[in-house]
Structure 1
């Protein structure tokens, strides 16, 4: 009886917490867990998205994803896009944060201007840059007026890939900047004052105080940047529509194209599962690596 009473008391204490977490569990299950399981099941079939008849074909879709040259090219471009945009956005965001993190109305206005691209719809950003980079767009019109030859920003594969990457950087560096500004404001001013008294210059203060204390923000920015960049779709759709000749197709672009345009939903689901696994591994790997580095610094 005593054990039963003790158990009842424990459950009464835990019940309010369990009740409070139920909405989050339900949302997580409905919005992530169930679609993930269904996506994996569909990836083992040849379903076209319309027919009621489907056949289980095992891991054939996964083998096709690794063997298809278009899928491999899309994976390579997505990787390059993710790495370059993440690195550049962090470098630019940190540099701007250091320059405009201080108080003052001018800095506030400048921060708002730099952050503004991030809050614009990705589709609008893509259409905006398309209007500027098109063969008859703003940039080429200026070059024509100057008597210079036009640049195939969107019609040459190499230029088109570079244009997509630059557009992605312009769209997301503001988010990194805001996070770094928040991190800079959380560093006590006394640290810098003490270092200045000890004779440390601006670079020494940045290297020995700012960078180590911003390590958690760096981790967050890298993980969020990689996850966001690996799922890029809207900018590509509006800017190049995957062209020319599929050179700017990303993994997500191919997933939606194969699933709905080509009627290969099972194949698209397999690509989606692969992307989910890669994203999870990268996110966890970067987080663990940064934590280990922070522990070594602390020790």
Structure 2
């Protein structure tokens, strides 16, 4: 019997005008978001890069293109280097502590009940307060004649130089930042924990797993994506911190608590060096993007291993 040949008709190509007509609603609806992204991010970023190649002081209409001199100065300027190092310290320890404290508290108050609901509100409240207010509040508490040292004096203990000695000032800045930020991490971890199906815990209980074993072997693997989001958001946010530093220590003592954004604002406006400040901003943007992507890809690999 001869083989029969089946002929598959070639699909008719739609006219280009009809294709664009079908795509037009999506283009129209998406264009406002694209325009806002271009106007608020791409264009300012391009202008900042152009400005970083000049010696503009922010006031005069006259400026000179100086190439990459501002970038070279940023890497050899001791104030900028010190600010970058302290920013890295804040970002590292702040990210670890914010996520560690947030995860721990989220696990402890993830149950139902009014007490847990009240605790969630209390722990989240510092995050919604203005960072400047938090900085001024803790400055009043930790000052040499502040509330904490006053209480220590009543107890017969010597005053602690929270804001006047370099090591104490750096620790005070980091702990204040953690106190004001961990509530956000806690809420995200709570959402992740609440999304874990209860059947998994029931099966683990039947197998004789303790609460700690359930948390380690059930909760942590299943909230791995939440952990990734928390790490990236916290790291990127802390690389840009400056407002708490401004209100708490104003960069002191002796400039030891200046972060890179604080230094950029100081150079740009107080020192009238907008070209130099723009160069530092471009470097910070690139570093932030690289670190954010690196952490994301590293965590994606960890999530894949858990899934496998």
Give TM-score scaled by structure 2 length: 0.95
Q: Does the residue aligned with 1:149 lie in a helix, a strand or coil?
A: coil
Aligned to 2:7: none
In the alignment, structure 1 residue 163 sits paired with structure 2 residue 172 = yes
Select between 5-14 and 66-75 the one with higher mean Cα deviation.
5-14
Q: Does the residue aligned with 2:254 lie in a helix, a strand or coil?
A: coil
Aligned to 1:266: 275
Q: Tell me which structure has the larger Cα radius of gyration.
A: 2
Alpha-carbon separation, structure 1, partners of 2:148 and 2:203: 50
Aligned to 2:237: 228
- Which consecutive segments of 4 or more residues in structure 1 shift more than 3 A? 2-5
In the alignment, structure 1 residue 100 sits paired with structure 2 residue 105 = no
In the alignment, structure 1 residue 56 sits paired with structure 2 residue 65 = yes
In the alignment, structure 1 residue 219 sits paired with structure 2 residue 228 = yes
Aligned to 2:250: 241
In the alignment, structure 1 residue 12 sits paired with structure 2 residue 21 = yes
In the alignment, structure 1 residue 37 sits paired with structure 2 residue 49 = no
Select between 193-202 and 211-220 the one with higher mean Cα deviation.
193-202
Relative to total residues, which structure has the larger helix share, 1 or 2? 1
Alpha-carbon separation, structure 2, partners of 1:265 and 1:88: 34
Alpha-carbon separation, structure 1, partners of 2:147 and 2:305: 51
Alpha-carbon separation, structure 2, partners of 1:298 and 1:31: 38
> 122, 146, 150: which is aligned to 1:113?
122
In the alignment, structure 1 residue 202 sits paired with structure 2 residue 211 = yes
Alpha-carbon separation, structure 2, partners of 1:212 and 1:55: 55
Q: Does the residue aligned with 2:199 lie in a helix, a strand or coil?
A: helix
Cα offset for 1:12?
Answer: 1.5
- Segments of 5+ residues of structure 2 without an aligned counterpart are 1-10
Deviations 1:104-146 (A, max 9, x none): 1111111000000000000000000000000110011111222
Alpha-carbon separation, structure 2, partners of 1:244 and 1:172: 24
Q: Does the residue aligned with 1:199 lie in a helix, a strand or coil?
A: coil
Alpha-carbon separation, structure 1, partners of 2:77 and 2:126: 35
Alpha-carbon separation, structure 2, partners of 1:139 and 1:284: 41
Give TM-score scaled by structure 1 length: 0.97
Aligned to 2:299: 290
